[in-house]
Structure 1
C-alpha cells in the first residue's frame, strides 16, 4: 500500500511540474495557449513519472539478475 501511495504522489508531483512549465511556455503566446500548454504539460509529466518508475523497476531487476541481490543481510553475516 505504501508503494502505491508513493507512486501516486510521484505521478501527481510530475504532472504538477509539467503543467506549470507548459502553462508558463504557453503564456508567452496567449491565455488559450497557456491553458493548452498546462494540460499537455500535465500529461507529459504524468507520462514521465510512469516511464521513470517502469525504467527504475527494470534496471533494479537487471542489476539483481546480473550481480545478485543487493541486501544488507549478506554484509552483516561476516
Structure 2
C-alpha cells in the first residue's frame, strides 16, 4: 500500500510540474494556448513519472542480481 501511495504522489508531482511548464510556454502565445499547454504538459509529466518509475524498478532489480563474468580469462595477459 505504501509503494502505491508513493507511486501516485510521484505521478501527481510530475504531472503538476509538467502542467506548469506547459502553461508557461503556452502563455507566451495566448490564453487558450496556455490552457492547452498545461493539459499537454500534465500528460507528459504523468507519462515521464510512469516511465521513470518502471525504469528505476528495473535498475533496482538488476542491481540485486549478481552477474558473473562471461569468461574467466578476461584479465589482461602480459
Same fold, TM-score > 0.5, yes or no: yes
**TM-score computed with the length of structure 2 as normaliser:** 0.83
The structural deviation recorded for 1:66 is: 2.8
Tell me which stretches of 4 or more aligned residues in structure 1 moved more than 6 Å.
none
Partner of 2:63: 63
The structural deviation recorded for 1:7 is: 0.4
**TM-score computed with the length of structure 1 as normaliser:** 0.83
Aligned counterparts of 1:66 and 1:51: Cα–Cα separation in 2: 25
| Structure 1 residues not aligned, in runs of 5+ | 68-78
Deviations 1:46-74 (A, max 9, x none): 0000000000010011111136xxxxxxx
User: Which protein has the bigger helix share?
Assistant: 1
Aligned counterparts of 1:64 and 1:48: Cα–Cα separation in 2: 24
Aligned CA RMSD, in angstroms, stands at: 0.9
- Radius of gyration: which is bigger? 2
Matches within 5 A, 1:1-78: 1-66=1-66
| Structure 2 residues not aligned, in runs of 5+ | 68-78
